[in-house]
Amino acid sequence: MDLPLLKTQRLYQHISQLLMTHIREGRFVPGQALPAERDLAKQLGVSRSSVREALIVLELSGWVEIRVGTGVFVCSPLPENATALDSDDVSAEDLLNARQVIESEFAALAAKTATNSQLRELAALVKRMENNVTDNKEYHALDMQFHVLIAKLTNNQLLAEVVQRLWDKHYSPTFLRLEQHYAHDDLVKVWDRDHRIIVNAITRRDPRGARAAMRKHLKNVLERLFRPLK
């Protein structure tokens, strides 16, 4: 007997499937605004961050349109394929939480193992980032280099590969759309300040400070991507 392949769904995928079913059954009609994130989270008994990621998936699938500051509206017309909603993307919230745990330890280790030439390379990279704050594409490429370079400062190639793999997931459609909607202009300024604090701690050979600075940096990214809209 042939059995279907079962897929394990993440919470935000369950939420998106539920909302899609409500739209398909006419409980939310084309052009109608969905309840606010806060209200959906309360009704479903889940976090606002999970609701936000579910809405991103629905937008990528053509079911809703997110108008930041106004609301989330059911698309008109609806997608022709009523069941085409499948995402293998990792949760952005899970990804950033994992990076907090992993990269903070790598930063602490880098403060112990980095050579003087590597520290100069890190300082030069941060300077390039500061000079490219208005070039969004270039800045994000340099940002990835920054985090991978810190892992390389541990002088353990496998750790550098771990960070690279995390960043590969960072460029998922869900994460990119989340940044597009909710990474406001002030975010790069926050990143620049955080990066400088991280570099200073590593340069001082301060593992505890480097660990705390990296953890705070990634927490700042998480909080700003999922902060409530005014």
Q: How far is CA 222 from CA 42, 98, 178, 179, 187, in A?
A: 21, 11, 11, 11, 11
Tens digit of pLDDT for each residue in 15-38? 999 999 999 999 999 999 999 999
Q: Work out the average pLDDT over 89-103.
A: 90
- Report the pLDDT value the prediction gives residue 138, as an integer from 0 to 100: 82
Tens digit of pLDDT for each residue in 150-205? 999 999 999 999 999 999 888 788 888 888 888 766 677 788 899 999 999 999 99
Q: Name the strand (E) or helix (H) holding 169.
A: helix 157-170
Centroid of chain to Cα 54: 14
pTM: 0.84
Domains parsed from the chain with CATH numbers: 11-74 (1.10.10.10), 92-225 (1.20.120.530)
Q: Work out the average pLDDT over 66-73.
A: 93
The DSSP line for 203-216 is HTT-HHHHHHHHHH
- Give the number of other CB atoms < 10 A from CB of residue 224: 16
Would you say 93 and 222 are in contact if contact means Cβ atoms under 8 Å apart? yes
Look-up of token digits 């919470």: 11
- Report the pLDDT value the prediction gives residue 4, as an integer from 0 to 100: 47
